[in-house]
Amino acid sequence: MTTPVRAPAAKVIGVDKRFGGAHALRGVSMTFEAGDVHAIAGENGAGKSTLMKVLSGVIGEYDGFLEIDGAPVRFASIRDAERHGVFLVPQELNIVPELRVGEYLYLNREPRRFGLVDVKKLWADTAHWISVFKLNTSPVARMGELSTHEQQLISIARAMTQGVKVLILDEPTASLTERETELLFDRIAELNQHGVTTLYISHRLHEFQRIANVVTVMRDGSVVDHFRVAETGGDTPRRVIKAMVGRDLSEMYPKSSASVGEPLLELIKWSAAHSIPGRPPAVRGVDLTVKAGEVVGLFGLLGSGAFTVARSVFGAHDAQVDGTMRIKGKPVRVRTPRDAIGHGVAYLPAERKRDGLIVGHSIEANMALAALTKFSRGGFINRRSELQSIRRYTTNLRVKCTSAEQPIRELSGGNQQKVVAAKWLLTEPEIFVLEEPTRGVDVNARVEFYELINSLSQSGKAILLVSTDLPEVLGMADRVLVMWEGQIVHEWKRGEATEEQVMLYAAGEHGESEVAA
């Protein structure tokens, strides 16, 4: 096969950026060739997000140069970058839930007729793009009614309508199901054929083999590896991980088994209504037991009810919950998170910034929040015991920070998650409900989290691990439960399940297809 002469669509030359004391980018140079899907890997804090922000005009102050189609450019704003055909689709989409799909797609560029919005053309053009992206929605649907996956594709379509040359996708699959991920990959492949260059940032390394032509690995603000996927002979994830951390893949899930004791958490005929009235119940008659020292993995695709189980156990589900809950064998009523905490339950939410952290406040304010009564004597906070405890956890969990007074928003995802974990460890709970504990967490910190789970189970805590990261569930759980449409449809002991089997059950295709297999 002869490789066509590739023209660089975009070039980054010696870009250097500092945030206060942190050197985020150390003279990075990179070439993005036209029509490639260029994956960029690296731990949180490796500099990849910063680089993408420079490239998409979010950060305007830096040293170094950018070139688009061979011409030097310097973007002062996002609009500037978009005018040159560079579009960023961020992890947390900037959609306007109240707008209709068509209005969002052409926001600020509505087709006009006699000075008014040409509604007919607006809906027609939108319908065209919806069909191009094979979406099952209407131009007049509200953006807020769409699934994350659909919102994402509409965001990409929005870039397409404005003549995108370089499309930057930041963790596009973080909140997608496997099936939606496949659909997204198909669309990305089509974009390629139209000559669009895609820059793809992800923590899910196994996706690179499937989607990328080129991989660049960053570490500590520099490029540490760069290769075409075709050269690796199918061993992309391993090579990327080696470059990222210098650690072997087999160490990813350092699972150790603990001796299993009495049941700590029992759910009997546990049901929960959907938080949107009129929808079918989110959880239907689930029976579930987590024993002391045990890690129970609850896997389910989005909408399976697995997250609702987690939230309802913590008293945080915002609709009717029925069934019996026992803690250490005793029936308990948990109506609010306060009740749950009183019974020794801790909850690590999947939506860290929305549910777990006060991003504008300091590390210490966040860590101490759930355990303030423990630190107070006679109604006043005992700063000495508070600060000593916080110090102990920042050291033990290796939270990378300049001081405990540093605002949470300045930390990387992994370190933020460590702060959430410390907040709960300070309450000394017996039962941990972990929801997507390693979402958006870099590889090194992930392993540290798994080691934390090990040490918790060894000290006799019960852990309910609710995750949509299948390798994680299989790698860390003593028992794996699969949920589908609000019910637990199958259970395996550790080591018995394969990814394919679990996925079949989770997708609700375990009936005939299993017999056939």
Partner 1 sequence: MTMSNTTTSQTASVSSAAASHRVTLSAILSQSRFRLIPMIAVLIIIWLVLQLLTGGLFLSPRNLTNLSGQVAITAVLAAGAVMLMVPGYIDLSLGATVAASAVVAAFASTVYGLDFWPTVFVTLTFGLLLGLWHGFWVAWMHVPSFIVTLASLLAIRGLSLVITNAETISPSMDILVISDASLPPVASALVLFAMWLGFSLLQLREWRAQVSAGIPASFGILVLLPVIAVGIVVLGAIITTSTYRGLPLPVAIVLAVVAITGGILRYTPFGRRLYAIGGNRQAAMLAGIDIRKHITIVFAGMGLLYGLAGLMLVARLSSAPPTAGQGLELNVIAAAVIGGTSLMGGRGTVAGAAIGALLMESLANGMSLMNLPSSYQSIAVGLVLLFAVYIDVRGRGSRGDD
Residue 59 or 480 with smaller CB distance to partner 1: 59
Query: Is there binding between residue 134 and partner 1 (CB under 8 A)?
Result: no
Choice from 34, 359, 489, 507 touching partner 1 (CB under 8 A):
359
CA pair distance 293, 494, nearest whole angstrom: 14
Asked if residue 383 binds partner 1 (CB under 8 A), the reply is: yes
Minimum CB distance to partner 1 smaller for 85 or for 356: 356
- Of 228-236, 297-305, 362-370, 483-491, the segment contacting partner 1 by CB under 8 A is 362-370
Out of 140, 174, 319, 387, the only residue in the binding site for partner 1 (CB under 8 A) is: 387
Q: Are 205 and 237 spatial neighbours (Cβ–Cβ below 8 Å)?
A: yes
Query: What's the min distance (Å) between Cβ of 406 and partner 1?
Result: 8
Minimum CB separation from partner 1 for residue 336, in Å? 8
Is 391 near partner 1 (CB under 8 A)?
yes
Name which of 88 and 470 has its Cβ closer to partner 1. Answer: 88
User: Using CA atoms, how far apart are residues 248 and 225, in angstroms rounded to an integer?
Assistant: 16
Nearer to partner 1, 59 or 288 (CB): 59
Q: Which of 3, 4, 5, 21 binds partner 1 (CB under 8 A)?
A: 21
Token digits for 163? 């003549």
Residue 321, judged by CB atoms within 10 A of its CB (0-12, 13-18, 19+), counts as buried
Q: Which is nearer to partner 1, 139 or 414 (CB)?
A: 414
H or E segment and range at residue 240: helix 236-245
| Residue 136 touching partner 1 (CB under 8 A) | no
Q: Cβ of residue 341: shortest distance to partner 1, in angstroms?
A: 4
Among the residue ranges 94-102, 123-131, 361-369, 490-498, the one whose residues contact partner 1 (CB under 8 A): 361-369
- Does 384 engage in binding with partner 1 (CB under 8 A)? yes
Q: Does 400 bind partner 1 (CB under 8 A)?
A: yes
By beta-carbon proximity to partner 1, the closer residue of 90 and 303 is 90
Positive or negative CA dihedral for 432, 148, 143, 321? negative
- Does residue 365 touch partner 1 according to CB under 8 A? yes
Q: Report d(CA 444, CA 135) in Å as an integer.
A: 37
Which of 75, 200, 375, 450 binds partner 1 (CB under 8 A)? It is 375
Structural tokens at position 255: 């699972």
Q: Which of residues 301-340 bind partner 1 (CB under 8 A)?
A: 314, 316, 336-338, 340
- DSSP conformation letters of 283-352: EEEEEEEEETT-EEEEE--TTSSHHHHHHHHTT--SS-EEEEEEETTEEE---SHHHHHHTTEEEE-SSI
- Residue 354 CB neighbours (<10 A): 10
Residue 446: which residues within 8 A CB-CB, separation 6 or more?
252, 414, 438
Scanning residues 278 to 297, which ones bind partner 1 (CB under 8 A)? none
Q: Does 361 bind partner 1 (CB under 8 A)?
A: yes
**Residues contacting residue 102 through CB under 8 Å, at least 6 positions apart:** 122, 123, 125, 126, 139, 140
**Cα separation, 255 vs 292, whole angstroms:** 16
Q: How far is the CB of 100 from partner 1 (least distance, A)?
A: 28
**Of 209 and 406, which has the nearer Cβ to partner 1?**
406
Residue 24 CB, shortest distance to partner 1, in Å, is: 10
Question: Does residue 257 touch partner 1 according to CB under 8 A?
Answer: no
Rule CB under 8 A: choose which of 376, 396, 458, 513 binds partner 1: 376
Beta bridge partners of 166: 86, 197
Question: Do 41 and 239 meet the contact criterion of CB atoms below 8 Å apart?
Answer: no
User: Alpha-carbon distance 325 to 268, whole Å?
Assistant: 6
CA distance 148 to 379: 45
Among 4, 20, 277, 329, binds partner 1 (CB under 8 A): 20
Per the structure block, which two tokens stand in for 93?
Answer: 């989409």
Stretch of 69-77, 147-155, 243-251, 452-460 contacting partner 1, by CB under 8 A: 243-251
β-bridge mates for residue 482, sequence order = 299, 490
Question: Which residues, 6+ apart, have CB-to-CB distance to 424 below 8 Å?
Answer: 346, 347, 348, 370, 432
CB of 424 to partner 1, least distance (A): 9
Q: Which of residues 411-440 bind partner 1 (CB under 8 A)?
A: 423
Alpha helices (runs of H) in 176-230, residue ranges in sequence order: 178-193, 206-211
* Calpha distance 31→170 (Å, rounded): 18
- Of the candidate residues 180, 386, 442, 469, the single one contacting partner 1 (CB under 8 A): 386
Report the residue from 109, 120, 179, 409 that binds partner 1 according to the rule CB under 8 A: 409
The answer to whether 402 contacts partner 1 (rule: CB under 8 A) is yes
Give the H or E element holding residue 502. helix 499-506
**61: DSSP letter:** -
Q: Which is nearer to partner 1, 129 or 347 (CB)?
A: 347
Residue list 35-74, contact with partner 1 (CB under 8 A): 53, 58-59
The residues binding partner 1 (CB under 8 A) are 19-22, 53, 58-59, 245-247, 251, 314, 316, 336-338, 340-342, 347, 349, 354-361, 365, 368-370, 372-373, 375-376, 379-381, 383-384, 386-388, 390-391, 398, 400-405, 409-410, 423, 444
